[in-house]
A and B are shown apart, each in its own frame.
Chain A
């Protein structure tokens, strides 16, 4: 049996008296799209933030490729190859597309200018950015030096996904990538997700949109009351089953547990 890329056991996270994660488990297999669904307040965000280093867990363990990890900041997770596309996208509106793609991992010029004067290599960054956007079929964006605030919502989402895909070597986490988008733009983002998966990078997809989840996911992790209720195969279950599980209207069979 293949080993999971990410394996989390017994995660606990409390905010004061509120328990956001209660002995939650999580597994992500290589090359899959794993959807995480759950009602509001079920602890999806806390689970994802624990994996992406945005929050520190109180108890439990997380393993990446079989090695225990303890991320203290999102940067730690990023350096380990886990890229997250946040719902807020984490783009700087006044900076250009290229600047946003390379923020925090800028490329410096070769030689003395780069080494001692820390000069950035804008040409090289522009070249790579163009290449990455091209790969994902996003080159309808003409000018990669234009400010991100002049782009549409779907285009911004595209930039954010492209940034993650360009640098995420192990795992990409997408938080509600289609929530703010129209029909056409959602379709484009779903294609983008499948395009990224076809390169063999596993994806964690958090979404409330059942049609989108059932279309792209290989497995669905149902989160309820702070822990993993079950993992279901979208081919064997209907959307109403999934909704029933996550709201507690129906209890999954014991067989499907874990």
Chain B
């Protein structure tokens, strides 16, 4: 809107001076804006560049012979890292959906165990057909998401509080159901082997690609499609960006939010099934830190905790960064606590960068 081409006869008197006015828009000297500014703009357009750069850098450093003695950069080790991050990766995908809407889900880990326990109790202990027990597990996961979503949209409670509450609720129910007893691996094999299908693998050279790893990639690909290529995805971003504006612009925000929570629940169900294959048994006490780890992967992956920004692929890289640090530092002979130390700094750095790139404008 820079050119002002009105005729003198319309407009206010004082505006007639506009005809002779300087038509340039206020601009600062571009000279002072150097690389830092260019970087800020670049990251504003592609927030996922940060995790990608960290991922590439960490892979390169851990591949150096003097660091890990060549033990890191092997097909076997890299495929092992993929296996290790697969469950947290899938959970992080679910978490991303919630965080993109400017929410947070503290209950994903507990809901995953809850769903896995239901699959196991029905399929193994009660001898229900595996197919039915899987459906029941998914009903629990989607129902849990729906419950969170209803409290957020209908009762208008903050997602943090809702999911803190349901985290306790899901944990207590699953412990009551199992009596805190694990379901043993050999029992699963005997009664419902299909529950462990995602632990199976195909070997390519020394690499072991489990079905769980493939599943994780499929989950991210599907979510990427929905978030980037459909109207639903646009609405998810718009709601996270500014819910009130989205509502006024004609999005049914509460209905969309409800579908987001249910979709996250469905992804949690996928994670539950995959976790049985990954661990082998079903333990009510497994994945105690999964909630926080999923949030960690999302934040390191460059999705803004304030919603509306970031790519769904970021958390995949975020989860991989965590796995690579763990593997690399262990192979380098360092205490694993250094990995925890490094992840702590990465989280702070990631949020600091998010704040910084938000300030870019014009």
Candidates A89, A105, A191; contact of B250 at CB < 8 Å: A105
Of B150-158, B240-248, B320-328, the one contacting chain A is: B240-248
B318 to chain A, nearest CB (A): 20
Residues in B neighbouring A183, C-beta threshold 8 A:
14-15, 18
Does A89 lie within 8 Å of B245, measured CB to CB? yes
Interface residues of A in 117-160 (CB under 8 A from B): 117-120, 138, 140-141, 147, 149-152, 154-155, 158
Does A92 lie within 8 Å of B362, measured CB to CB? no
Interface residues of B in 270-309 (CB under 8 A from A): 308-309
Of A40-48, A94-102, A197-205, A242-250, the one contacting chain B is: A94-102
**B231-266 contact mask (Cβ, 8 Å, vs A): 1 or 0:** 110110110011011111111100000000000000
Interface residues of A in 56-89 (CB under 8 A from B): 73-75, 78, 84, 86, 88-89
B11 touches A (CB below 8 Å)? yes
A184 touches B (CB below 8 Å)? yes
Candidates B3, B229, B232; contact of A140 at CB < 8 Å: B3
Residues in A neighbouring B242, C-beta threshold 8 A:
91-93
Say yes or no: A92-B244 contact (C-beta < 8 A), given A99-B234, A105-B250, A150-B361.
no
Say yes or no: A155-B1 contact (C-beta < 8 A), given A75-B252, A94-B237, A103-B250.
yes
Does B229 lie within 8 Å of A187, measured CB to CB? no
Does A74 lie within 8 Å of B361, measured CB to CB? no
Bound-complex Cα distance A211 to B12 (A): 7
A180 to chain B, nearest CB (A): 14
Residues in B neighbouring A54, C-beta threshold 8 A:
248
A255 touches B (CB below 8 Å)? no
Does B229 lie within 8 Å of A119, measured CB to CB? yes
Candidates A89, A108, A215; contact of B10 at CB < 8 Å: A215
**A203-237 contact mask (Cβ, 8 Å, vs B): 1 or 0:** 00000000100010000000000000000000000
- Total cross-chain contacts (CB, 8 A): 109
Residues in B neighbouring A215, C-beta threshold 8 A:
10-12
Size category of the A interface is 35 or more
B13 to chain A, nearest CB (A): 9
Residues in B neighbouring A100, C-beta threshold 8 A:
249
Which residue on A lies nearest to B246, using beta carbons? A92
Does A188 lie within 8 Å of B1, measured CB to CB? yes
Which residue on A lies nearest to B21, using beta carbons? A184
Does B248 lie within 8 Å of A90, measured CB to CB? yes
Candidates B4, B237, B249, B362; contact of A150 at CB < 8 Å: B362
Does A86 lie within 8 Å of B11, measured CB to CB? no
Residues in A neighbouring B252, C-beta threshold 8 A:
73, 75
Most buried by A among B3, B15, B21, B225: B15
Bound-complex Cα distance A100 to B12 (A): 32
**B1-37 contact mask (Cβ, 8 Å, vs A): 1 or 0:** 1111010001110110010010001000000000000
Residues in B neighbouring A118, C-beta threshold 8 A:
229-232
Interface residues of B in 60-79 (CB under 8 A from A): none
Residues in A neighbouring B241, C-beta threshold 8 A:
92-95
A39 touches B (CB below 8 Å)? no
Say yes or no: A120-B229 contact (C-beta < 8 A), given A95-B241, A103-B251.
yes
Say yes or no: A140-B1 contact (C-beta < 8 A), given A95-B238, A95-B241, A108-B231.
yes
A104 touches B (CB below 8 Å)? yes
Candidates B4, B234, B360; contact of A187 at CB < 8 Å: B4
Which residue on A lies nearest to B362, using beta carbons? A150
Bound-complex Cα distance A158 to B245 (A): 16
Does A184 lie within 8 Å of B4, measured CB to CB? yes
B237 to chain A, nearest CB (A): 6
Does A74 lie within 8 Å of B362, measured CB to CB? no
B46 to chain A, nearest CB (A): 12
Which residue on B lies nearest to A140, using beta carbons? B2
Which residue on A lies nearest to B41, using beta carbons? A150
Which residue on B lies nearest to A167, using beta carbons? B250
A105 to chain B, nearest CB (A): 7
Which residue on B lies nearest to A151, using beta carbons? B362
Residues in A neighbouring B235, C-beta threshold 8 A:
103-104
Does A104 lie within 8 Å of B232, measured CB to CB? no
A27 touches B (CB below 8 Å)? no
Bound-complex Cα distance A54 to B250 (A): 11
B249 to chain A, nearest CB (A): 5
B115 to chain A, nearest CB (A): 27
Say yes or no: A103-B246 contact (C-beta < 8 A), given A95-B238, A118-B232.
yes
Does A91 lie within 8 Å of B1, measured CB to CB? no
Candidates A78, A88, A158; contact of B244 at CB < 8 Å: A88
Residues in B neighbouring A119, C-beta threshold 8 A:
229-230
Does A78 lie within 8 Å of B246, measured CB to CB? no
Does B11 lie within 8 Å of A95, measured CB to CB? no
Bound-complex Cα distance A120 to B247 (A): 21
A241 touches B (CB below 8 Å)? no
* 5 A-B residue pairings within 8 Å (CB atoms): A92-B242, A117-B229, A147-B44, A152-B25, A187-B15
Q: 9 tightest A-B contacts by CB? A: A104-B250, A90-B248, A106-B231, A92-B241, A92-B238, A90-B245, A118-B230, A90-B249, A188-B1
Instruction: Report A's interface with B, CB cutoff 8 A.
Output: 54, 73-75, 78, 84, 86, 88-95, 99-100, 103-106, 108, 117-120, 138, 140-141, 147, 149-152, 154-155, 158, 183-185, 187-188, 190-191, 211, 215
